Amino acid sequence: MSTNVTADNHAAPPGDAGRYRQMSWTADLRTVRIVRYAAGVTVAVAMAFGLQWPLYFLTPIFTAMFLAMPLPGPTLKQAFALFGYVAVAFALGLIFTLFLLPFPIVFVPALGIALFHIFYLVNRGGPAMLGLMSLLAVLILSMMGNAHEALAMMFAFNFAWSATLAVLFYMLAHGIFPDPAGERPALGHSGFQTGYSKVAAITALKSTIAVLPIAILFVAANWTGEMLIMIYAAIYSLSPELTKGKAAGLKSLTSTIIGGLAAMAFYWLIIAVPQNYFFIALTLLTTLIFGTNIFSEKPLAKYLPSAFVALLILFGNSMGEGASFTGKFLSRVILIIAATLYVVGVMSVLDQLFSRIQRNSKGHSLDS
C-alpha cells in the first residue's frame, strides 16, 4: 500500500501535465536570462583576460551590455546588422586614426562633425549600439593612435576584433540558451525618425559642444590612462537635458560605487587564490549574483549592468604589475564625479543659453 501511495504522490494528474512540464528551468524566461548572462559573460571574461590582446577589455564590456538587455535573441537580419555596426565603427575609427589624426587642423573640425552626427543619429531613435560603438571607436582609437602612432592600424583592427567577438558571444549565448517557446519580448525600440528633426539637432549640438573640448584635450595630451572620464562624459551627453544629466550622473556614480566595492572583493579573493580555475569560477558566481538581480524587479536592478562594467574596468586596470587597487578605485570614483559635474555644469549653461536665444528669436518675430 505504501508503494501505491508513493506512486500516486509522484504522478502528475492528467490535467496538470502542462503545469508540471513548466517546472523545468528552461521554461522560465527570467532563469534563462540569468544563466545566459552568467555563461556568456564568463566565457568572454575568461578569453579576454586570458589572452589580453590590445583593447581586450571591450569584449567582455560589450558582451555584458548586450546580454543585460531583456531582448529576444537576434534574428539573422539583426545579427548581420550588428556585424555591420562593427564594420562602420571600425571604418570610422580607422579614418580618424590613419588619415585625419596627423593633421590637427583637419582632425578637430572632422571630430566635431562626426560627434554631431553620432549624437544626432541616437537622438533621432537610431541604433543605440551603432552610436555607442562609433563613439568609442572615434574617441578611443584617436587617443591610442596619437599615443602610439606606429600601432594605429593594430589598435583599429583590435577594436573591430573585440567588438566582433562580443557579437559572436552574444549570438552564441542566445543560441545555447534560447528564450522559452512562446516568449517573445518586445524589442522596446521607439523607431527611427525620418527627415530633419530640430529637437534632435539641438540636442546633438549641445552634446557635441560638451564633448568636443574634453576629447581634444585628452587626445592632444595623450591621457590614455585617463580615457574613462572622456568616455563617461560622452555617454552622459547622450542625454543632455539638465534634469536627465543629473539623474544619469547620479546613476553612474551609484553604479561605479557598487561595481567598485564588488571589484574590491573580487580582487582580494583572486589575490588569496591566484589560480585560473578559481578566477573563472569566481567570475561565474559573480555574474550569477549580478544576473539574478539585474533581471528582477528590485530598485537596485537599474544600477547593476553599469556596475558590472565598472567592476570589469576597475579589476582589469588593477591587475598590472605594481598597480594599486585602492588608488585605481579612488581615482575612478573621482573621475566619475568630475565627469558628472562637468556634464551637468556644461549642460546647465547650454540650456540657459539656448533658452535665451529661443526667447529672443520669438520676441523678434512678434515685434516684426
Given a cut of 70, is residue 207 above it in pLDDT?
yes
pLDDT computed for residue 183 by the predictor: 57
Instruction: Using the Cα atoms of residue 205, residue 208, residue 213 and residue 214 in order, give the sign of their dihedral.
Output: positive
Kindly report which listed range (15-24, 31-40, 68-77) carries the lowest average pLDDT score: 15-24
At 180, phi and psi to the nearest 5?
-55, 150
pTM of the model: 0.78
User: Which three three-digit cell numbers place residue 16?
Assistant: 496538470
Higher pLDDT, 76 or 189: 76
Q: Residue 192: pLDDT band by 50, 70, 90 thresholds?
A: low
pLDDT tens-place string over residues 96-113? 888 888 888 999 999 999
Q: Rounding to the nearest 10 degrees, give the CA dihedral for residues 218, 221, 226, 231.
A: 10
pLDDT value at 215 more than 90: no
Burial, 294: exposed, middle or buried (Cβ in 10 Å; 0-12, 13-18, 19+)?
buried
- How far is 59 from 185, CA to CA, in rounded Å? 25
Asked whether residue 355 carries a pLDDT value surpassing 90, the answer given is no
Overall average pLDDT of the 302-311 stretch: 84
- The phi and psi torsions of 136 (rounded to 5 degrees) equal -65, -40
Say how far apart CA 204 and CA 350 lie, in whole Å. 12
Kindly tell me the burial class for residue 285, based on how many C-beta atoms sit within 10 Å of its own C-beta (0-12, 13-18, 19 or more): middle
Indicate the residue type of 279: F
Please report the beta strands in the chain, taking only residues with DSSP state E, as ranges in sequence order: none
